[in-house]
Chains A and B, each alone.
Chain A
Amino acid sequence: MVNPVPLEARGVSYAYAPGHWAVRNVDLDLPAGARIALLGANGAGKSTLLLLLSGAEHLCHGEIFLHGTRAERSRAGLRRWRREVGLLLQDPEDQLLAPTVEQDVAFGPLQDGVEETQARKLVGQALSDMAIPHLATRPVHELSLGEKKRVALAGLLVQAPAVLLLDEPTAGLDPGGVRALREILHTLSQAGTAVILATHDVDFAYEWATEVCVLFQGGILARGVPAGVLADREMLTHASLEPPLLLEAALAIGGPPPLPRSRAEFREWARPTRRVFP
């Protein structure tokens, strides 16, 4: 039977130089369908933690388990790790390797030995899911940042990873791009993909995540449901973060729980009180 927790981290630590811990003693479970946001200031260890979870960096201490089995750094082990766990880097330019969009998205399936006709179908589906089929024959280096992010994400999704790690996915995206990304991530988690993202964007994290982890100097400072963790102003200030605007407004107005998580929910929630929208 397949372990329902596709990725577990136990006591994970990493130092870039002796004594300079970027990540220290982190435990994390990513069950199927999880939506976890890693929050923290610059240098808090978010990106390093994602690199460790993806197998891109060697652990100094701790262990990572894939579906209950210890992740190995052998050639076959890394191949499995990369098939199970996809990482979207902050700058998508770094992970786009092929000259055209279609060829880049096909990279994973063809690498895994998928037959070309089937690979073309998978690529077509992934491009459609990302709403970019019109970019198929375009050269990668002529795309905008938002388009490159979508192509990089399509290149990960085409392999249907059990876990998706995203490093600052909203950085550089316009509001429409952020909205589209949120919808894509919702669909993925509903389909059972565990998604964890590192971000400074507390508003996005509050609206999207089912669990938030606040990182500070490489360790987990607080974790839990967004409405609980992100209401702790003192802790957030200590971690150089601010509470989400919607949550702060809802708390300031006061009203019945559950607190609204999105603008639409906020409108509905505030309407009966007629305090905000007459």
Chain B
Amino acid sequence: MHVHAPLDHIAFSNAWRTQSPLDKLIFGGGLLLLASVLPALPWSAVIFAVAAAASLGGARIPVRAWVRFLAPQIGFLSAAVLPVILGAGWKSAAVVWMRGVAAAACMTFLALTTPAPDLLLAAQRARVPAVMVELAFLVYRLIASIWELFERLRFGLDLRLRGGKPSLRAATLSAGNLLTRSIQTARRVERGASLRGLDGFPMFTPRAETSRMFLVSAMVLHGSLLAAALFFRSRFPW
């Protein structure tokens, strides 16, 4: 039984977990920007390869997990370009699809290497209103508790069904149970927060400082891609 969300687990355990979120945002965000402005062919493929190398080689995210998160996004994109084929033709659809896949790889890199709390702390440092960040922290804790509850209920249902598929009635009962218990969980967390005198949510400032080496490397990479795109402009027009 997995009692924690797989995405969250990978974000907390990858090799770049301690790297500053700002470093990862600049690296991933820069690639995302390039994916949207450079010619789709061949640069989207190059950006996809760079994002994949950073995720799998740099952050050492397991290949299966990476594919598992990327595949639904690519599936969604593939379905979404069908109307583009009918409206604007194959060529435009291919461009949209390639850019979309490259962008999805960049976003997957960010999502799998940066835990949500790190992003929220970065938001706090960036002076996002405190009330929004505090609320997001509490919602994150609540989602983690409800996820655990969901996994337990699902496990319990599986045990009682002995591997069979749940009937509509069993699934509905479980969903109702999850809702009721989620409300109970929310009330109990509210009581716990009150017990601890929740009055704002002060947090330690993150220890991970931005790495000059990492940032310079990221910017050199972004610059190289841009320079290469400009150099080969005659062969791959914008």
**How near does chain A come to B229, taking the closest CB pair, in angstroms?**
39
A99 lies within 8 A of B115 (CB): yes
In the assembled complex, which residues on chain B have CB atoms less than 8 Å from the CB atom of A89?
Answer: 192, 195
A142 lies within 8 A of B12 (CB): yes
In the assembled complex, which residues on chain B have CB atoms less than 8 Å from the CB atom of A87?
Answer: 195
B202 lies within 8 A of A97 (CB): no
Total chain A interface residues with beta-carbon distance under 8 A: 33
**21 interchain pairs, CB-CB under 8 A:** A56-B191, A56-B195, A78-B197, A79-B199, A82-B196, A83-B197, A94-B188, A94-B192, A97-B141, A97-B192, A98-B137, A99-B115, A99-B116, A103-B117, A107-B201, A111-B198, A120-B204, A139-B12, A141-B147, A142-B9, A155-B196
Q: Which one of B4, B141, B195 lies within 8 Å of A142 (CB-CB)?
A: B4
Q: How far is the CA of A139 from the CA of B145 in the complex (A)?
A: 12
In the assembled complex, which residues on chain B have CB atoms less than 8 Å from the CB atom of A142?
Answer: 3-4, 9, 12
A141 lies within 8 A of B144 (CB): yes
B193 lies within 8 A of A97 (CB): yes
A140 lies within 8 A of B203 (CB): no
A98 lies within 8 A of B141 (CB): yes
If the complex has contacts A54-B195, A139-B12, A142-B12, are A99 and B148 also in contact, measured as CB distance less than 8 A? no
B196 lies within 8 A of A141 (CB): no
B192 lies within 8 A of A96 (CB): yes
In the assembled complex, which residues on chain B have CB atoms less than 8 Å from the CB atom of A91?
Answer: 188
A93 contacts the other chain (CB 8 A): yes
**How near does chain A come to B196, taking the closest CB pair, in angstroms?**
6
In the assembled complex, which residues on chain A have CB atoms less than 8 Å from the CB atom of B196?
Answer: 82, 95, 97, 107-108, 111, 155
In the assembled complex, which residues on chain B have CB atoms less than 8 Å from the CB atom of A103?
Answer: 117, 203-204
Q: Which one of A56, A94, A111 lies within 8 Å of B202 (CB-CB)?
A: A111
A185 contacts the other chain (CB 8 A): no
Q: How far is the CA of A100 from the CA of B118 in the complex (A)?
A: 10
If the complex has contacts A78-B197, A99-B140, A140-B141, are A94 and B205 also in contact, measured as CB distance less than 8 A? no
In the assembled complex, which residues on chain A have CB atoms less than 8 Å from the CB atom of B147?
Answer: 141
In the assembled complex, which residues on chain B have CB atoms less than 8 Å from the CB atom of A56?
Answer: 191, 194-195
B197 lies within 8 A of A119 (CB): no
**How near does chain A come to B7, taking the closest CB pair, in angstroms?**
12
Residue of A whose beta carbon sits closest to that of B200: A111
A141 lies within 8 A of B145 (CB): yes
Known: A107-B201, A139-B144. 14 other contacts (CB 8 A): A93-B145, A95-B195, A96-B192, A97-B193, A98-B141, A99-B141, A102-B204, A103-B203, A120-B204, A138-B12, A139-B117, A140-B144, A142-B3, A142-B9
Report B76-107 residues with CB < 8 Å from chain A CB.
Answer: none
If the complex has contacts A56-B195, A111-B197, A141-B148, are A94 and B189 also in contact, measured as CB distance less than 8 A? yes
B interface, over-half SS: helix
**How near does chain B come to A25, taking the closest CB pair, in angstroms?**
25
In the assembled complex, which residues on chain A have CB atoms less than 8 Å from the CB atom of B189?
Answer: 94, 97
**How near does chain B come to A117, taking the closest CB pair, in angstroms?**
10
A265 contacts the other chain (CB 8 A): no
Residue of A whose beta carbon sits closest to that of B8: A139
A66 contacts the other chain (CB 8 A): no
B-contact bits for A88-129, CB 8 A (1 contact / 0 none): 010101111111101100111011000010011000000000
**How near does chain A come to B135, taking the closest CB pair, in angstroms?**
12
Q: How far is the CA of A138 from the CA of B4 in the complex (A)?
A: 12
In the assembled complex, which residues on chain A have CB atoms less than 8 Å from the CB atom of B25?
Answer: none
Residue of A whose beta carbon sits closest to that of B116: A99
A139 lies within 8 A of B191 (CB): no
**How near does chain A come to B132, taking the closest CB pair, in angstroms?**
16
**How near does chain A come to B136, taking the closest CB pair, in angstroms?**
10
A95 lies within 8 A of B141 (CB): no
Residue of B whose beta carbon sits closest to that of A114: B202
**How near does chain B come to A178, taking the closest CB pair, in angstroms?**
23
B56 contacts the other chain (CB 8 A): no
Residue of A whose beta carbon sits closest to that of B145: A93
B141 lies within 8 A of A96 (CB): yes
B138 contacts the other chain (CB 8 A): yes
B197 lies within 8 A of A98 (CB): no
Report B189-238 residues with CB < 8 Å from chain A CB.
Answer: 189, 191-205
In the assembled complex, which residues on chain A have CB atoms less than 8 Å from the CB atom of B140?
Answer: 99
Report A43-61 residues with CB < 8 Å from chain B CB.
Answer: 54, 56
B204 lies within 8 A of A116 (CB): yes
Interface centre among B3, B202, B205 (most CB of A within 10 A): B202
In the assembled complex, which residues on chain B have CB atoms less than 8 Å from the CB atom of A97?
Answer: 137-138, 141, 189, 192-193, 196, 198, 201
B-contact bits for A54-89, CB 8 A (1 contact / 0 none): 101000000000000000000000110011000101
**How near does chain A come to B18, taking the closest CB pair, in angstroms?**
8
